[in-house]
Amino acid sequence: MPDTLPAVLPDDVTLRLLRRDDGAALAAAYERNREHLEPWEPARPTAFYEPGYHAQRIPVQLLEHLNGRAVPLVLERDGEIVGRVNLSDIVRGAFCNAHLGYWLDARLAGRGIMTAAVEAAVTNARDDLGLHRIQAATLPHNAASQRVLERTGFERVGMAPKYLQIAGQWQDHVLFQRILHD
């Protein structure tokens, strides 16, 4: 996979593969968006917001990518990380599926950036990875995330009670999927 996905994103944002030296920039992005992301993500230890935490995790994520089990992407603008898009838990064989996760810097929300980034990741999953299906889950009250999924062709397929531990509590999630090949 090339370092940068061929995608035209609004506001001069680039979608690219995570790099080994992104630890400090990633920690800064998470710290800058801490309040914005806390309601939507697992409770994070204090160390999560420090560069060393990400410096240790990035090689693991890149190894998962090398082994075909994940595609760890970042959104970058003017040399600053402003979001993530991840395809994880890639399974081949009869399933040929991945999980999609994403977030965007609060300063850039509502501009169509994440919609374009998700569409680019989906196109890569279909055309380059040969996946059949991508699934995603959102909290029921995360209307912005659900709009991104709906705009990019995902369909709501159900509800999963107490699906993930988010913000310190087991919470229900709305499940979405997008079939990539008919």
Q: Parse the chain into domains and list their residue ranges.
A: 10-134
**Measuring CA to CA, which residue among 90, 93, 118 is closest to residue 104?**
118
**Residue pLDDT, tens place only, 100-155:** 999 999 999 999 999 999 999 999 999 999 999 999 999 999 999 999 999 999 99
Instruction: Determine contact, residues 20/59, Cβ cutoff 8 Å.
Output: yes
Rounded Cα gap, residues 40 and 48, in angstroms: 15
Q: What is the pLDDT of residues 29-69, one digit of tens each?
A: 999 999 999 999 999 999 999 999 999 999 999 999 999 99
- Neighbouring CB atoms inside 10 A of 147's CB total 14
Q: Which residue, among 84, 80, 9, has the nearest Cα to 40 in the 3D structure?
A: 84
Options 3.30.479.30, 3.50.40.10, 3.40.630.30, 2.40.50.140; which CATH number does 10-134 get? Answer: 3.40.630.30
pTM for the complete prediction?
Answer: 0.94
Q: In angstroms, rounded to a whole number, what is the distance separating the alpha carbons of residues 71 and 35?
A: 26
